[in-house]
């Protein structure tokens, strides 16, 4: 799952004005994947390409206990939530940020083949939606589309920035689905992934700065720094 991971970020910002800004929530949504790609570059965690391992992509995610076990994801969620709490001095914002980080494991559990663990070893979990391309595409686009629409309805601001964000995200997703299949998990592949995350997060910070929640009024509109 790629842009579908951003659905909880849109939803959190739609639900309450106390959630962090959209860019921070995008960072939360992809935090463990960013850490994973960095860890693979550093030789700490590992993946390889095995053509045909799932119908949609060749990723064999065989060693990522620090970022993608449920315990590991929960630790990242706790750490990110504490950081948000320190910066914003707002327990509600911190809780939403942590929940968005934690949502990553749940969505991976739906899409991945059984390669996720609870604590880094033992039984592996995954419903394998990636083996059903039409269903996987439908679910991903539905999650993204519904959350994006809900966020638009619950925020105010110019229309063009959200349109640009949506077009870029859907274009990236289309490349992920229909572009050339990666041949190896080399640094070029990993750096391209990190670049894609950075583009989406940067755009989300920009778009978030142009919109405010319908519950925010007066000075509250521009009061939150992240």
Does a structural domain hold residue 69?
yes
87-106 pLDDT per residue, tens: 999 999 999 999 999 999 99
Query: Is 72 contained in some domain?
Result: yes
Residue 219 lies inside a defined structural domain of this protein: no
> Cβ distance 104 to 33 under 8 Å?
yes
Helices (H), the chain: 7-15, 22-41, 65-68, 70-88, 91-111, 133-154, 160-178, 187-209
User: Does 29 map to a domain?
Assistant: yes
Give the contacts of 208 (CB within 8 A, at least 6 positions apart): 13, 21, 22, 23
Q: Which tens digits make up the pLDDT trace of 23-53?
A: 999 999 999 999 999 999 999 999 999 999 9
Inside any domain, residue 223? no
Residue 58 lies in a domain: yes
Domain span holding position 149? 3-214
If one counts the domains in the chain, the total is 1
Read off the pTM. 0.93
93 part of a folded domain: yes
Rg of the chain's alpha carbons, rounded to an integer? Answer: 17
In a domain, 221, yes or no: no
- pLDDT band at 226; cut points 50, 70, 90: low
Backbone angles phi, psi at 16, to 5 degrees: -145, 145
Across all residues in the chain, what is the average pLDDT?
A: 94
């Amino acid at each position: 799952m790629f842009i579908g991971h951003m659905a909880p970020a849109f939803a959190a910002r739609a639900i309450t004005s106390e959630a962090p800004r959209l860019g921070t929530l995008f960072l939360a949504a992809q935090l463990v994947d960013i850490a994973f790609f960095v860890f693979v570059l550093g030789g700490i965690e590992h993946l390889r390409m095995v053509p045909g391992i799932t119908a949609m992509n060749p990723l064999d995610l065989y060693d990522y206990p620090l970022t993608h076990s449920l315990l590991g994801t929960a630790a990242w969620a706790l750490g990110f939530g504490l950081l948000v709490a320190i910066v914003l001095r707002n327990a509600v914002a911190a809780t939403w940020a942590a929940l968005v980080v934690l949502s990553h494991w749940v969505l991976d559990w739906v899409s991945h083949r059984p390669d996720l663990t609870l604590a880094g070893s033992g039984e592996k979990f995954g419903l394998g939606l990636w083996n059903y391309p039409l269903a996987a595409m439908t679910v991903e686009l539905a999650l993204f589309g519904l959350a994006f629409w809900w966020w638009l309805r619950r925020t105010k601001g110019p229309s063009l920035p959200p349109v640009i964000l949506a077009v870029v995200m859907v274009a990236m997703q289309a490349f992920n689905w229909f572009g050339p299949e990666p041949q190896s998990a080399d640094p070029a592949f990993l750096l391209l992934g990190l670049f894609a995350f950075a583009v989406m997060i940067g755009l989300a910070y920009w778009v978030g700065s142009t919109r405010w929640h319908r519950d925010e009024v007066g000075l509250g509109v521009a009061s939150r720094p992240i």
